[in-house]
Amino acid sequence: MSVVLKSLERAVLALGWIARACVLVLVLLVACNVLLRYVFSWSPVGLQELEWHLISPIALLGMAYAVHHRADVRVDFLHERMSRRAQALVDLLGAMLTLGVGALIAWLSWPYVMQSYAMGEGSPDPGGLPYRYGLKAFLVLGFAALALQGLLDAVRTVMRLAQERAPA
């Protein structure tokens, strides 16, 4: 079981590293676009669109990565005052809600992405980027990763509860 959990965790972390790489690319791209605009008076539409295209993987892949590293919102001052068992039960509830919401949104996003793919949707702007469905696919991937992280957290919490109940 631990091997499966670790490999699934590595998948979430890999997606998080992709999000982090996109942040670096976005910073470099914005600097390049500013240089092109103000030094060369040239502002290609495709590069401008790529800026906001990079925000999708940053936000959507970064969600699961943030939850993995406990950068999500939790009322710690209340959580710390609870017993270990109550903390685990709250964590389990949060993990199950994360799993459910992530899976539901990933499921509901799939037809939206497939419709975009079927239409061959691209940018409506001249010189804009094609393959908008690739951008929209981050909805499915990001929320599926969030659901996976919720599942990982739920399994770990159940294992922690089982260890606490086991006789010493």
pLDDT, tens digit (0-9, with 9 covering 90-100), for 24-50: 999 999 999 999 999 999 989 999 999
Say how far apart CA 105 and CA 140 lie, in whole Å: 7
Say how far apart CA 11 and CA 151 lie, in whole Å: 13
- pLDDT at residue number 166: 67
For residue range 96-147, list pLDDT tens digits in order.
999 999 999 999 999 999 999 999 999 888 888 899 999 999 999 999 999 9
For residue range 63-108, list pLDDT tens digits in order.
999 999 887 777 777 888 888 889 899 999 999 999 999 999 999 9
- pLDDT at residue number 76: 75
Say how far apart CA 51 and CA 28 lie, in whole Å: 10
- pLDDT at residue number 70: 85
- pLDDT at residue number 29: 97
